[in-house]
Amino acid sequence: MAALLVSKNVSPLMSLTIFVTLQMMVGVVSGRLLDKTKIHVMNNISEPLLVHGWFRNDHEVHRLLPGESHRYKFFKTPFLKMIWACTFEWKGAFHRYNIYDSRRDSCYEYNCYWQITKDGPCQIVHNYTEPLCFSWNY
Ligand SMILES: *[C@@H]1O[C@H](CO)[C@@H](O)[C@H](O)[C@H]1NC(C)=O
Ligand SMILES: *[C@@H]1O[C@H](CO)[C@@H](O)[C@H](O)[C@H]1NC(C)=O
């Protein structure tokens, strides 16, 4: 009887442990758990571009010459909405765009490629031959 009570108390915890372990194994096997999402941002305008990106308390400012890129790397948090907001500045212009939004972007193989033009950001989507261009949010 005592043994039965113990096993009854232990079992939910055991199941949880097994569940978590299996989840981690699946993650490791598929290589997904440890992968970071990478957002590549390229300056496609003909002058220096100042990119200021932030997520929660993390923020970075990068000055990109024409043709230069910067790569943001971070761990995606499953089930939580994540937005990486950016501002883009060059002579006489200031724009804002969310360069990453977990509900909008699928980022094939955990990579998102953006090319910044004067008219707006263009995303390179793996199954499209032409970039998908958007207008500035602001
Ligand atoms: C951005 O520049 C790259 C390299 O010059 C070019 O291949 C690409 O087509 C450009 N993209 C856009 C949207 O203009
Ligand atoms: C391209 O990928 C997007 C997003 O993954 C998907 O919605 C769309 O159906 C795909 N298009 C083609 C032609 O495969």
Please tell me whether residues 38 and 86 are part of one structural domain.
Answer: yes
Same domain, 26 and 38: no
Q: How many domains, the chain?
A: 2
Residue 50 shares a structural domain with residue 113 = yes
- The closest residue, in CA terms, to atom 2 on ligand 2 is 127
Do 28 and 85 have their domain in common?
no
The answer on 57 and 25 residing in a single domain is no
Residue 138 lies in a domain: no
Cα 34 to Cα 121: distance, rounded to the nearest angstrom: 28
Label residue 40 by pLDDT band (50, 70, 90): very high
* Atom 4 in ligand 1: residue holding the nearest Cα: 67
Domain that holds residue 21: 1-32
Are 89 and 43 a contacting pair, CB within 8 Å? Answer: no
Instruction: Find the range with the poorest average confidence among 27-31, 87-91, 106-110.
Output: 27-31
Find the mean pLDDT for residues 96-107.
Answer: 88
Pocket probe for ligand 1: among 41, 43, 44, 45, the residue whose CB has the most ligand atoms within 8 Å is 44
Which residue, judged by its Cα, is nearest atom 9 of ligand 1? Answer: 131
Give CA–CA dist 85/71, Å, rounded.
Answer: 14
pLDDT category at 122 given cuts 50, 70, 90 is very high
Kindly state the average pLDDT of the residues 35-58.
90
71 and 100 part of one domain: yes
Higher pLDDT, 88 or 59: 88
Same domain (yes/no): 5, 55 = no
Segment 83-91 mean pLDDT? 94
Which band of pLDDT confidence, cut at 50, 70 and 90, is reported for residue 20? Answer: low
- Find the 107 Cα to ligand 2 centroid distance in Å: 12
Q: pLDDT value at position 66?
A: 98
Residues 17 and 27 placed together within one structural domain of the fold: yes
Tokens of 4: 């039965």
Please tell me whether residues 66 and 14 are part of one structural domain: no
Which ligand ends up closest to the CA of 132? 1
Alpha-helical segments (H) within the chain = 2-30
pLDDT at 90: 98
User: Using an 8 Å Cβ cutoff, are 60 and 53 in contact?
Assistant: yes
Q: What is the pTM of this model?
A: 0.72
Confidence class of residue 77 from pLDDT cuts 50, 70 and 90?
A: confident
- Share above pLDDT 90 across residues of the chain, in percent, rounded to a whole number: 43
CATH of residue 96: 2.60.40
